[in-house]
């Protein structure tokens, strides 16, 4: 994939600003731990998954442009298709990635871009963090990329998977301390998965404390 044209870069920045203003003033979104967000370079951003809001929320929390994964079926939905195509979303199959999705994700990581994934694999059924699946390990190792843990709390209350439409709710995003690329290569798979899950859970607990203190 060639470098993005100037019009797409400007369009992404304008959309990012508009969504950030809407999130802050419309939903009271607050972000903590920005000091942990890598300003640039390759990174695999790993977040818990509470709602359809999550890709936008994590994208707003980080200043660097994120690459998003989108199921192939979403590319058939009118309007949404145009939006995610414009944002250069990476198509993935129902089982998670598929060979084409893996190749494109690695290509963007090796191009020193940042990619967002949800290692739980699906949206939460109760707002809590579910056990992580290990698929991210191969991606991070092959791309020599750090792992950036991110936790969201309040998005489940705003838009649980059982509801068709969202409602207003305080939402907090916490960015945890990254796991360096060297540690990703050094640790065995089980230890690495456990450590990333520990950091996401710790960040989630912090996000929940912040959210409840704001109510």
What is the pLDDT at residue 201?
Answer: 98
Is the pLDDT confidence value at 96 over 70? no
What is the pLDDT at residue 2?
Answer: 52
Q: What is the mean pLDDT of the chain?
A: 92
Lowest mean pLDDT among 15-29, 122-136, 186-200: 15-29
Long-range contacts of 18-21 (CB under 8 A, 24+ apart): 19/56, 19/59, 19/60, 20/60
Q: How far is it, in rounded angstroms, from Cα 154 to Cα 173?
A: 9
Q: Higher pLDDT residue, 176 or 14? A: 176
102 to 153, 155, 167, 179, 181: CA distances (angstroms): 28, 28, 34, 21, 19
Q: Higher pLDDT residue, 26 or 37? A: 37
Q: What is the CA radius of gyration of the chain?
A: 16
Average pLDDT of the segment spanning 174-189: 98
What is the pLDDT at residue 1?
Answer: 47
Q: Higher pLDDT residue, 191 or 215? A: 191
pTM: 0.92
Which residue, among 150, 148, 156, 151, has the nearest Cα to 53 in the 3D structure?
156
Alpha helices in the chain (DSSP H): 6-27, 54-61, 80-86, 98-110, 135-143, 155-158, 181-186, 189-214
Domain positions in the chain are 23-64+114-214
Band (pLDDT 50/70/90 cuts) for residue 95 is low
Q: Higher pLDDT residue, 195 or 84? A: 195
Q: Higher pLDDT residue, 10 or 186? A: 186
Residues 6+ apart with CB under 8 A from 162: none
Q: How far is it, in rounded angstroms, from Cα 5 to Cα 154?
A: 36
Q: Higher pLDDT residue, 2 or 195? A: 195
Average pLDDT of the segment spanning 144-172: 94
214 to 29, 107, 122, 158: CA distances (angstroms): 11, 41, 28, 15
3-state class of 198 per DSSP?
helix
Q: Give burial (CB, 10 Å; 0-12/13-18/19+) of 122.
A: exposed
3-state class of 37 per DSSP?
coil
What is the pLDDT at residue 94?
Answer: 62
Question: What letter would DSSP give residue 63?
Answer: S
Q: Higher pLDDT residue, 47 or 166? A: 47
């Amino acid at each position: 994939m060639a470098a993005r044209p100037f019009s797409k870069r400007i369009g992404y920045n304008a959309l990012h600003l508009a969504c950030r203003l809407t999130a802050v003033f419309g939903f009271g979104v607050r972000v903590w731990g920005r000091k942990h967000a890598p300003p640039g370079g390759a990174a695999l951003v790993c977040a818990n998954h509470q709602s359809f809001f999550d890709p936008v929320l994590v994208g707003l929390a980080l200043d660097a442009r994120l690459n998003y994964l989108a199921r192939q079926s979403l590319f058939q939905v009118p309007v949404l298709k145009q939006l995610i195509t414009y944002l250069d979303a990476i198509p993935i199959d129902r089982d998670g990635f598929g060979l084409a999705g893996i190749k494109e994700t690695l290509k963007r990581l090796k191009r020193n871009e940042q990619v967002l994934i949800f290692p739980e694999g699906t949206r939460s059924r109760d707002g809590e963090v579910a056990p992580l699946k290990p698929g991210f390990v191969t991606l991070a190792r092959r791309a020599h990329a750090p792992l950036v843990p991110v936790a969201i709390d309040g998005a489940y209350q705003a838009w649980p998977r059982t509801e068709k439409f969202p409602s207003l709710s305080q939402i907090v995003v916490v960015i945890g301390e990254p796991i360096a690329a060297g540690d990703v290569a050094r640790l065995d798979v089980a230890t690495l998965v456990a450590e990333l899950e520990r950091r996401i859970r710790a960040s989630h607990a912090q996000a929940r404390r912040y959210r409840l203190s704001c109510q």
